C-alpha cells in the first residue's frame, strides 16, 4: 500500500529521470496542459508507476485523472485494493 505522497514522489522521479523534465512538478499541474505529456510520455509515466507500485492502470483511468494529484490519488487507491 502506498500513500499519495509516495506516489507523488515517484511521479517526480519518473519525470526527472525517465522523461528528462527539468521543471519542478506541483500536485496541481495538469498532465497534458502543464507537463505537456505526449502519448509516449504518458505511457512511460503509466508503466513507470505500474512497475513501482505493482498496479495495473488502464486506458479508462484517463477519465477523471487530469492533474498530478489526481494521478497520485488514483494510484494510491489502487494499491489499497491489490495485494
Partner 1 sequence: MRPARLQGAREPRARHATLNEALERAAASGRRGLTFVSADETETALGWAEVLARAARVAGALGDLGVRQGERVALVLPTGPDFMDAFFGALLAGAVPVPLYPPVRLGRLDEYHVTTARMLRLSGAVVLLSDGRVGRLLGEAVRRAGPRLGLWNVAALRESDPSPVTRSADPGALALVQFSSGSTVDPKPVALSHRAVLAQTDALRALMPDDTPEDPQLGVSWLPLYHDMGLIGCLLSAVTYPGPLVLLGPEAFLGRPALWLRALSRHRGTMSVAPSFAYAVCARRVKDEEMEGTDLSRWRLALNGAEQVSIDAARRFSDRFSRWGFRPSALTPVYGLAEAALAVTFAPPRAPLRTVPVDPVALAREGRVLPGARTLVSVGIPVPGVSVEIRSESGAVEPEGIVGRIFARGPSVMEEYLGQPEATRAVLDGGWLDTGDLGFVQDGELVVCGRVKDVVVLRGANHAPQEFEDALDGVSGVRTGCAVALGFVPPGGDGEELLLLVETTSGVRPDLVDRIRAAVAERTGVRPHTVQLLAPGTLPRTSSGKLRRSEALRRWATDALHPPARVTAVRLVGEMLRSALALALARARAHPEPET
Residues at the contact surface with partner 1, assessed by CB under 8 A: 17-18, 20, 30-34, 36-48, 50-51, 57-63, 65, 71
**Nearest residue to 35 via CA among 64, 74, 75, 65:** 65
Could you tell me the smallest distance in angstroms from the CB atom of residue 62 to partner 1? 5
Min dist. Cβ of residue 46 to partner 1 (A): 4
| Residue 59 per-residue DSSP state | G
Closest distance of CB 67 from partner 1, Å = 12
Beta carbons of 78 and 53 less than 8 angstroms apart: yes
Amino acid at each position: 500500500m502506498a500513500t499519495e505522497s509516495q506516489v507523488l514522489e515517484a511521479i517526480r522521479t519518473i519525470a526527472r529521470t525517465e522523461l528528462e523534465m527539468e521543471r519542478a512538478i506541483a500536485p496541481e499541474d495538469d498532465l497534458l496542459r502543464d507537463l505537456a505529456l505526449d502519448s509516449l510520455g504518458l505511457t512511460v509515466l503509466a508503466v513507470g508507476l505500474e512497475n513501482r507500485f505493482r498496479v495495473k492502470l488502464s486506458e479508462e483511468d484517463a477519465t477523471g485523472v487530469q492533474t498530478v494529484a489526481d494521478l497520485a490519488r488514483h494510484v494510491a487507491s489502487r494499491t489499497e485494493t491489490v495485494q
